[in-house]
Structure 1
Amino acid sequence: MKLNILSIILGAGVVIPATVCLLNPASTIEVIRRFPRSTVAGYLLTAIGTVWFLINLNSENIVDLESYKNFMYLLFPAIGLATCLYLKDFLAVRGLAVTMLLLAKLMLDTARWENSSWRLVIVVWAYVLVCLGIWFTVSPWRLRDLIDWAIKNYKRFIALTTVKLIFGILLVILGIIMF
């Protein structure tokens, strides 16, 4: 994937939810508040993370892993299933954390060969996702606390959402003009 396409997709992925939040803040606040304990979102994000990881595993050409690949093709779906069955508490946060880590890998792999200094916007964001993904994996209740902090004050929620909207627009503009 090219960085310009990824930047536009990521930008749209930030702009669309931010716009929905600004147009209908009351209902989106409630959806956001319920997210950390949503089992449906947890199942979906865990499935996405598991399948995405298996796709990455399949495309890796590391010779040291070749003898273990068949075992890993069985192990990681079993881990994904066991996570859904036995770690239902904050499952959505755990699934989101795995998906964030995999998205960061895609972002870094895509930005690696770009010559523009603007690629650092994507690279820095990817490393922020890595840090958050690790943090939310280790202590998933932190996302709940972060959400509670963000939505506790209406003006704060609108300000944070506006910053997200501006960042998403920046990503789309970078995808169209710079990359």
Structure 2
Amino acid sequence: MSLTLATLIPGLLLILLGVPLVLNHSGYTAMLKAFPRSTAAAYLFFGAGAAWFLYAIWNLSPADFGEYRTYLFIGFLIVAVLSFKCVPDFLAVRGLAAVVLMGAMPLLQAAYMEYDKPQRLLMVSIVYLALSGAIVLGAQPWRLRDFFSWLFAQPSRARGIGGALAAYGVVLSIVAFTY
């Protein structure tokens, strides 16, 4: 993946997350409030995160426990399938965390050793912030529900955070074309 694309993707995602918050779109607000316990979102995000992780397990090199990949694959597949039955609460949040964790690697690899391009740090910073959030939410997924309750308690909070997300997304989208 090129550094331009690796910077443009988070920029566009931030714009897509921020603009509906700025516009105070009621459908978007309802969707965000329902997201943590949504069964459809759980199937989408946890399914995508599990599939991506299992793909990575299946393609392990011999130096990375590749000779045990079949056992690892089967073990993690069983855990993923049983997650839908045994821990369905907040599975969408855990799935989103898995997608963020898996998606960060190609973005960070694109910026690796690109020391002559300091503007890459704008992308890397937001990716590390997302990684930190994914780790916290993976361990304590109910915090996303609590965050949404706090966020939508006052419309100015949602607009302010949405504006900040959209503005940073615009900055990243512009920076993507400066490499």
Q: Cα 1:165–1:75, aligned 2, differ >3 Å: closer, same or farther?
A: same
Gaps of 5+ in 2: none
Cα offset, 1:96, TM superposition: 1.0
- Post-superposition Cα deviations, 1:46-73, rounded to whole Å, max 9, x if no partner, equal 1111111123234442524022111122
In the alignment, which residue of structure 1 is the partner of 2:47? 47
Counterpart contact for 1:105–1:126, Cα < 8 Å: no
Q: Cα 1:62–1:110, aligned 2, differ >3 Å: closer, same or farther?
A: farther
- Post-superposition Cα deviations, 1:7-58, rounded to whole Å, max 9, x if no partner, equal 1122112212322333352221111111111111011111111111123234
What secondary structure does 1:29 align onto?
helix
Runs of 4+ in 1 over 6 A off after TM superposition: none
In the alignment, which residue of structure 2 is the partner of 1:150? 151
Task: Provide the aligned length of Structure 1 versus Structure 2.
Answer: 178
What secondary structure does 1:152 align onto?
coil
In the alignment, which residue of structure 2 is the partner of 1:31? 31
Q: Cα 1:158–1:82, aligned 2, differ >3 Å: closer, same or farther?
A: same
Counterpart contact for 2:11–2:169, Cα < 8 Å: yes
Q: Tell me the amino acid that sits aligned with residue 28 of structure 1.
A: Y
RMSD: 1.6
Cα distance in 2 between the residues matched to 1:79 and 1:106: 25
Cα offset, 1:132, TM superposition: 1.2
Cα distance in 1 between the residues matched to 2:94 and 2:48: 12
Q: Cα 1:124–1:62, aligned 2, differ >3 Å: closer, same or farther?
A: farther
Gaps of 5+ in 1: none
In the alignment, which residue of structure 2 is the partner of 1:121? 122
Counterpart contact for 2:18–2:161, Cα < 8 Å: no
| TM-score (normalised: structure 1) | 0.91
Cα offset, 1:82, TM superposition: 1.2
Cα offset, 1:143, TM superposition: 0.9
